[in-house]
Amino acid sequence: QVQLVESGGGLVQAGGSLRLSCAASGPTFAFSRYAMAWFRQAPGKEREFVAAISWSGSTTYSTNSAKGRFTISRDTAKNTVYLQMNSLKPEDTAVYYCAAEIGTLTYSNHYDYGFWGQGTQVTVSS
């Protein structure tokens, strides 16, 4: 199976930055074959797509609200995907989840991902 462990969340003031990490592991897990993504969920809201990166790292996807502020990247040597978040806003407050999947998928559709981390809380104060 695949284990995903997020870290890097916390409390930050508006305009600040955070870098989230997601370490992936598993006895038969081949990180370089998996697409990776970040989703978030605020209280009372549905889980929403933030950003994704293809298995090769050559293509990234993100929402309009994330473009220009958030950057997703992956380090195959460390089996880790990152989400660098700059210019944070109070509306970015949510639990951020890492997700992984192999094969053909719609990157922004959370139902397409079979492996999830436990989430890390990001709180942005105004």
Q: Kindly report, residue by residue over 42-73, the tens digit of the pLDDT.
A: 999 999 999 999 999 999 999 999 999 999 99
Tracing tokens 């298995």 back to the chain, one arrives at: 55
For 74-93, letters b (16+ CB in 10 Å) and e give beeeebbbbbebeebeeebb
* Opening angle at CA 53, ends 1 and 92, nearest 5: 100
C-alpha to C-alpha distance for 14 and 26, rounded to whole angstroms: 36
Quick one: what percent of the chain has pLDDT higher than 90? 94
Q: Is the pLDDT of residue 103 over 90?
A: no
pLDDT in tens, 17-28: 999 999 999 988
